[in-house]
Amino acid sequence: MKVSLSKRGLVIACVAVVVVLAALTVSRSGEEDAGGGPLDAPANQACTDFADGYPQARTPADRLALADEVSTSSAGTDNQVIADRVLAVGRSANDSDADWESAADALTQACRDAGWS
Give the model confidence (pLDDT) of 10-47 as tens digits: 566 555 555 544 555 544 444 444 467 789 999 999 99
pLDDT digits (tens, 9 = 90+) for 56-76: 999 999 999 999 999 999 999
32 Rama sector, left if φ>0, alpha if ψ -120 to 50, beta otherwise: beta
Report the predicted TM-score, pTM, of the whole model to 2 decimal places.
0.70
**In angstroms, rounded to a whole number, what is the distance separating the alpha carbons of residues 85 and 77?**
12
Greater model confidence, 35 or 105 = 105
**In angstroms, rounded to a whole number, what is the distance separating the alpha carbons of residues 35 and 95?**
28
**Of 47, 51, 42, which Cα lies nearest the Cα of 113?**
47
For the chain, what are the domain ranges? Answer: 40-117
